[in-house]
Amino acid sequence: MWVRWEVEDIFYLCPIKAGMDFVAFRLLLHKQYMGKIISLANQKGGVGKTTTAINLAASLATLGKKVLLVDADPQANASSGLGIDIRSLEFTIYECLIDGVEPAKAILPTEIENLYVIPSHIDLVGAEIEMLNMVNRERCLQKLLAPLKQDYDYILIDCSPSLGLITINALTASNSVIIPVQCEYFALEGISKLLNTIKIIKGKLNPALEIEGFLLTMYDNRLRLANQVYDEVKRHFEGMVFDTAITRNVRLSEAPSHGKPVLTYDPESKGAANYMDLAKELIRKQ
Ligand SMILES: Nc1ncnc2c1ncn2[C@@H]1O[C@H](COP(=O)(O)OP(=O)(O)OP(=O)(O)O)[C@@H](O)[C@H]1O
Ligand SMILES: [Mg+2]
Does the C-beta of 248 come closer than 6 Å to ligand 1?
Answer: yes
Architecture of domain 34-285: 3-Layer(aba) Sandwich (3.40)
Minimum-distance ligand to the CA of 256?
A: 1
Q: Residue 157's pLDDT is what? A: 98
**Per-residue confidence in pLDDT tens, the chain, 286 aa:** 666 655 544 555 556 666 666 656 555 555 556 899 999 999 999 999 999 999 999 999 999 999 999 999 999 999 999 999 999 899 999 999 999 999 999 999 999 999 999 999 999 999 999 999 898 999 999 999 999 999 999 999 999 999 999 999 999 999 999 999 998 888 888 899 999 999 999 999 999 999 999 999 999 988 888 888 889 899 989 999 999 999 999 999 999 999 999 999 999 999 999 999 999 999 998 8
Distance from residue 44's CA to the centre of ligand 2 (Å): 10
Q: Which atom of ligand 1 is nearest to the CA of 161?
A: 25
Buried b (16+ CB within 10 A) or exposed e, 239-266: eebbebbbbbbeebeebbeebbbbbbbb
The DSSP secondary structure of 63-113, one letter per residue, reads TT--EEEEEE-TT-HHHHHTT--TTS-S--HHHHHHS---HHHH-EE-SST
Q: Which atom of ligand 1 is nearest to the CA of 158?
A: 22
Report the DSSP beta bridge partners of residue 15: 2
Give me the amino acid identity at 275.
Answer: Y
Does the C-beta of 274 come closer than 6 Å to ligand 1?
Answer: no
Minimum-distance ligand to the CA of 251?
A: 1
Domain boundaries, the chain: 1-33, 34-285
Does the C-beta of 253 come closer than 6 Å to ligand 1?
Answer: yes
Distance from residue 7's CA to the centre of ligand 1 (Å): 38
Q: Work out whether strand 10-15 and strand 2-7 pair parallel, antiparallel, or are unpaired.
A: antiparallel
Q: Residue 189's pLDDT is what? A: 82
CA dihedral 94, 100, 102, 108 (to 10 degrees): -10
Does the C-beta of 218 come closer than 6 Å to ligand 1?
Answer: yes
Output the pTM of the full model. 0.91
Does the C-beta of 252 come closer than 6 Å to ligand 1?
Answer: yes
Give dist(CA 272, CA 246) in Å, integer: 10
Mutate to test the pocket of ligand 1, among 43, 49, 51 (most ligand atoms within 8 A of CB): 51
Q: Which atom of ligand 1 is nearest to the CA of 246?
A: 1
Give dist(CA 40, CA 55) in Å, integer: 12
Distance from residue 133's CA to the centre of ligand 2 (Å): 27
Give dist(CA 66, CA 148) in Å, integer: 11
Mutate to test the pocket of ligand 1, among 42, 43, 44, 50 (most ligand atoms within 8 A of CB): 50
Does the C-beta of 244 come closer than 6 Å to ligand 1?
Answer: no
| Ligand 1, atom 6: closest residue by C-alpha | 253
Give me the amino acid identity at 91.
Answer: F
Does the C-beta of 45 come closer than 6 Å to ligand 1?
Answer: yes
| Ligand 1, atom 25: closest residue by C-alpha | 45
Q: Residue 222's pLDDT is what? A: 85
